[in-house]
Amino acid sequence: MTRSRNHSGRDDSGATTVEVAVLLPLMLLLVMAVVQVGLWFHVRAVMTTAANKAVDASRADAATAADGEQAAAEFLTHTAALDDVAIDVERGPEGARAQISGQVVSLMFGAPITVTVVVEAPIETVEP
């Protein structure tokens, strides 16, 4: 039985195994990085929606900042990819402001990724 040899006379059996052993971890790392970025964008979109709900609830005519915090907390209870959530809603005479921050669940090396979203809107007033 003869082994295949290239033109230089070297035996290159096993070269494919080495190439796969080197490239497969790099490809898996790349796939995990893409998934992590997608998770970050998803969490940012969820937090933006929660901040919009908080501002909408707190800028109504007779609403308070606590109404906004409750609206954001209720919306975020169904989000599993977010840890250490901080909700801060302020309502002043001119406008309402909601800031939500939290950490995205990390898939790579356990590095924390913090996302902060701020939404502001004027107070709704009813004029006769």
Please report which confidence band the pLDDT of residue 1 belongs to, taking 50, 70 and 90 as the band edges: low
Question: Which tokens belong to 31?
Answer: 């796939």
Give the residue-averaged pLDDT of 77-100: 89
**What is the DSSP code (8-state) at residue 114?**
E
Q: Which domain holds residue 66?
A: 15-122
List CB contacts of 53: < 8 A, sequence separation 6 or more.
68, 71, 72, 75
Q: Is residue 6 part of a domain?
A: no
Q: Classify the phi-psi angles of 68: left when phi > 0, otherwise alpha if psi is within -120 to 50, otherwise beta.
A: alpha
Please report which confidence band the pLDDT of residue 86 belongs to, taking 50, 70 and 90 as the band edges: very high
Q: Is residue 97 part of a domain?
A: yes
Number of domains in the chain: 1
For the chain, the first-to-last Cα distance in angstroms comes to 99
Q: Is residue 21 part of a domain?
A: yes
CATH code at position 108 = 3.30.1300
Q: Is residue 31 part of a domain?
A: yes
pTM summary value: 0.78
Query: Is the distance from CB of 104 to CB of 38 less than 8 angstroms?
Result: no
Query: What pLDDT is recorded for position 16?
Result: 83
Q: What is the pLDDT of residues 118-128, one digit of tens each?
A: 999 998 877 77
